[in-house]
Structure 1
Amino acid sequence: MSRWRYFAKRVLLSIPVLVFGASITFLVIRAGPLDPVSAILGPQGDPQAYEAIERRLGLNQPLWQQYIDYMVRLFTFDLGQSWVVQPNTSVYELVLSYAPRTIWLGFWSVLIAIFIGIPLGFYAGLNPNTFSDYVASFGGIVWRAMPNFWLAVILMSVLSQSEKILFGFDWEAWLVPTIVTGPPPLPDPIWGLFTNPDQFLRALKKIAPAAIVLGSASMGNEMRIGRTAVLETINSNYIETAKAKGVPPRSLVWKHIFRNALIPLVPIITGEAFLLIGGSVLVETVFDISGIGFLFFQGITNGDMPLVGSLMFIFILLVVVINIVQDLLYTIIDPRVGYDGGN
């Protein structure tokens, strides 16, 4: 089977997953406590006005009719308009407005996890049972054990009072003046940051605390799994054979140990999407980032059904796409993995 046929097969198999995920989302939204009409009218709404708005939104139709309309709109990428958060504003506009902040947060969160967690894990695996190994392993366990929401609140409290707590170091005045919470100052389009060093530094400093919190859990995972993968690779038979053949240590590490140790890290690295989708809701809310996670939280608390349903569909679609990319990466990193599901 060719790579493109394998890719097409994975895309076709993902369609039932999307249908199932969207169906569960519809049931949860419709059967749950969300009541957009009450959110629009307020607690003292008139019953006649309640019925009129319910008819206008189509909530008085049979559930099966609402389900069909919901699925048709999603799979034709007609995400509709917000009912409550920003009435009469299309979900596309809201996503395009809020997404750059989440992308900026996710970009640095992933970089922190990959370029700190993996190197530390590999270093600990290459130097087992040493002081540095113990420090790295203990640090990974500690970072992994701290919940995102708890770490976000603690870090926000410390940095907002850093002059008192950190022996006179003022985080908000350091390098460029910023406050701890609030959305990062991003231009439109976002890549305009790379032409303005001052704005780039300001946006980076603004997002750094949230990125550290969001990337910390994956950083701990990648550190621990990277260490274990390196240790298993070092003790494998083919590494012993390569040593016996006189392969130089540098080539042994870079061409044999690191590449094979990366294989179990592929699902961890691609799994960053799950962390960003779930964790960003909490982190963005605590730090007031005003990204997609914050928008999703506002949609839930205000009972904005089209907004919540559309964002959930986008989240599910991202997870499915990343799983496909993960499978393709396996075939690139490990040639033993075939396209037919066997070795």
Structure 2
Amino acid sequence: MSRWRYFARRLLLSIPVLLFGATITFIVIRMGPLDPVAAILGPTGDPQSYNRIEDQLGLNQPLWQQYIDYMTSMLTLQLGDSWVIRPDVSANSLITEYAPYTIWLGFWSVLIAIFVGIPLGFYAGLNPNTWSDYTASFGGIVWRAMPNFWLAVILTQVLSHSEGLFFGFDWQSWLVPVGVIGRPDLTNLFNPDILLAAIKKIAPAALVLGSASMGNEMRIGRTAVLETVNSNFIETARAKGVPPRSLVWKHIFRNALIPLVPIITGEAYLLIGGSVLVETVFSINGLGYLFFKAVMQGDLPLVGSLMFVFILLVVIINILQDFLYTIIDPRVGYDGGA
């Protein structure tokens, strides 16, 4: 089987995964403890009003009919309206409103994790048992061990009072004047001033959200490089006189990236999906915050829509992972393995 036939097969297998995930979401929502009618009525609702709203929302229909309606709506991306948070406002509109902030946060978090964690891990792997190796390894362990919520609170306080802590350096007025907490302005990122302000605004939260992944990728990258350097084919390449630069870039780095692919793609979902705690501490209020609020207030259509979006995101990231495997590792697709 060729690599591309293998990738096409993996692409087709993502369809039943998406259907299964949406089905589990429907079961959890419809048979769970959430009661949207009670959330709409509040504590003063009477039984007549309860039955009327239940009939209007279609919750008294047979479960199989509700399932068909739900799956049809999700697969056609007609995600319905919010019932509680913003009645009669479509879930598509709410997701469109909140998603840019989570995507902006996740984008920079992923970049920090990839372009800081992986290079440091590779550098430590190429220079084992040196002070740089010890420093990078220790830093990776520390960053991996610090809880996001704790680091978010500490960083917020440090940057808010940076003028007194760093000998007059004021983070909030450096380069462009922006506060530590709050949503970034994403209205016109083609404007250099607005773009710089948006990057600076999201930088502390992105550093917090990407810190755990950065430390994880640093440690795994170091281990992958060490294992590759000590492999037999590297010794053979050295014996054949392959130049050191070519040996590092064409042989060591490419093979060391293979075990990092599932780590990067798996953590990308967590980063792009956002963190409720990080978004709350920095008052970014993206999709993570919206999902938490929808669950707490029993907004079933919004909860189901967000869950479907998250599942779809996982499927897309898994497809991206298979695509990267197909490009990086020429062994993919042969002998039925990946």
TM interval, short-chain normalised: over 0.9
Cα gap change, 1:48/1:169 in structure 2, threshold over 3 Å: closer, same or farther?
farther
Secondary structure of the corresponding residue to residue 128 of structure 1: coil
Tell me how far 1:120 sits from its aligned partner: 0.2
Q: In structure 1, what residue type is equivalent to 2:293?
A: Q
Q: Which residue number corresponds to residue 140 of structure 2?
A: 140
**Structure 2 residue corresponding to 1:290, chosen from 285, 288, 300:** 285
How many aligned residue pairs are there? Answer: 338
Query: What residue is the counterpart of 1:183 in the other structure?
Result: 183
Match of 1:25 in 2: 25
The residue type equivalent to 1:305 in the other structure is L
Name the TM-score, length of structure 1 as normaliser.
0.92
Aligned in 2, Cα 1:45/1:174: closer, same or farther, shift over 3 Å?
farther
- Larger relative contact order, structure 1 or 2 (CA cutoff 8 Å, min sep 6): 2
Amino acid of the structure 1 residue aligned with 2:46: D
Structure 2, gaps ≥5 residues long:
none
Unaligned runs of 5+ in 1: none
Give the Cα–Cα distance (whole angstroms) in 2 for the partners of residues 199 and 41 of structure 1: 43
Match of 1:328 among 319, 323, 328: 323
Are residue 158 (structure 1) and residue 153 (structure 2) matched?
A: no
Determine the C-alpha separation between the residues in 1 that align with 2:58 and 2:52. Answer: 10
Percent identity between matched residues is 78
Query: Corresponding residue for 2:216?
Result: 221
Residue-by-residue CA offset, 1:8-35 (whole Å, 9 max, x unaligned)? 4223212221122112212222233322
Give 1:314's aligned residue: 309
**Aligned position for 2:276:** 281
Aligned to 2:42: 42
207-216 or 30-39: bigger deviation: 30-39
TM-score, structure 2 normalization: 0.94
SS of 1:337's equivalent in the other structure is: coil
CA distance in 1 between partners of 2:89 and 2:4 (Å): 39
- Give the structure 1 partner of residue 125 of structure 2: 125
- Structure 1 residue 309, shift from structure 2 partner: 0.5
Range with greater deviation from structure 2 (154-163 or 104-113): 154-163
- Change in Cα spacing, 1:84 to 1:300, as seen in structure 2 (3 Å) is same
Spell out the pairing of 1:198-213 with structure 2 (5 A cutoff).
Answer: 198-213=193-208
Question: Superposition pairs for residues 89-104 of structure 1, below 5 Å?
Answer: 89-104=89-104
8 Å Cα contact 1:277-1:315 kept in structure 2: no
**Cα distance per residue 1:169-218 (max 9 Å; x no partner):** 3322222222222111001xxxx41x311101110111111100111111
Let me know the Cα RMSD of the aligned residues: 1.9
Q: 1:7 to 1:232 in 2, by over 3 A?
A: closer
Q: How far does residue 163 in structure 1 lie from its aligned partner after superposition? A: 3.4
Deviations 1:51-72 (A, max 9, x none): 2212111122233332222122
How far apart, CA to CA, are the structure 2 residues paired with 1:295 and 1:185? 18
Match of 2:233?
238
Q: Which residue identity is paired with 1:177?
A: P
Amino acid at match of 2:118: I
**Do 2:110 and 2:268's aligned partners in 1 also have CA atoms closer than 8 Å?**
no
Post-superposition offset of 1:253: 0.9
Conserved? CA contact 2:107–2:272, under 8 Å: no
Show the 5 A alignment for 1:76-115: 76-115=76-115
Written as runs of structure 1 = structure 2, the 5 A alignment for 1:44-59 is: 44-59=44-59
Q: Corresponding residue for 1:69?
A: 69
- The 3-state SS of whatever aligns with 2:84 is coil
Residues 241-271 of structure 1, C-alpha deviations (whole Å, 9 max, x = no match):
1111222111111111111111111111111
Q: Whole-Å Cα distance in 1 between the matches of residues 225 and 236 of structure 2? A: 16
Between the aligned partners of 2:254 and 2:12, the Cα distance in structure 1 is 30
> Match of 1:204, as an amino acid?
I
Say whether the 8 Å CA contact 1:105–1:211 is kept in structure 2.
Answer: yes
CA distance in structure 2 between the aligned counterparts of 1:32 and 1:172, rounded to whole angstroms: 45
Paired AA for residue 151 in structure 1: L
Q: Quote the Cα distance in structure 2 between the aligned partners of 1:11 and 1:234.
A: 33
| Residue of structure 1 in register with 2:300 after alignment | 305
Q: Deviations over 1:198-239 (max 9, x none)?
A: 101110111111100111111111100100011011111111
